[in-house]
Chains A and B, each alone.
Chain A
């Protein structure tokens, strides 16, 4: 079992749909990092959260520290949201474990 598990691995949605990507982790301190990797390859930090919920535009991330679970939601999805979404758990100040990523495709 991976230390950081994401589901689903692949997700295809129609434009406008509400998207949920889940992340469960068994390691790390009480925080979680959500990253986005576009087809061009660059990695962008979306959220770092240690409690509750954070919102940025159409993206919402929630975390339950006790259950070691986090979700990333995308409202009103758009084809430009198509990317790989990766969650990562910091182990300490200098190490992080990554999930395998969720490949999202949003069709127009």
Chain B
């Protein structure tokens, strides 16, 4: 069973569109994250959700909005997509008893 899953794996879309990426974890973890990995493979945190409460929002444009319908899901919605949004987006989760994070397979977003 996949612990942290993301859909879709690949997403190609045009500038100006709105898109969502879904993330689900079946580990019973209470904290979930979204990361962006740029073309240089550098990972940066975007959001952290703990018990449905947004904890961190790094300098991310407000076109990006995380939505957590329940503890097992943290979806990422992006409005008015721009070329610079092209990247790989990773979802991750963590249990409160450890700092270790478990990552999803990533979603490669390409904005044309």
Contact = CB atoms under 8 A, between A and B. Distances in A.
A106 interface: no
Contacts of A43: 90, 92, 103, 106
Interface of A is mostly: strand
Interface string A90-103: 10011110101100
B12 interface: no
Contact of B106 (A42, A95, A96): A42
Contacts, number: 54
B70 interface: no
Given A98-B43, A100-B41, A33 B99 contact: yes
A98 B58 CA distance: 14
20 contacts: A33-B100, A33-B101, A35-B103, A41-B105, A42-B105, A43-B90, A43-B92, A44-B103, A45-B100, A45-B101, A48-B98, A86-B43, A90-B99, A93-B55, A94-B31, A94-B48, A96-B101, A98-B42, A100-B40, A101-B41
Interface of B: 31, 40-45, 48, 50, 55-56, 88, 90, 92, 96, 98-103, 105-106, 108
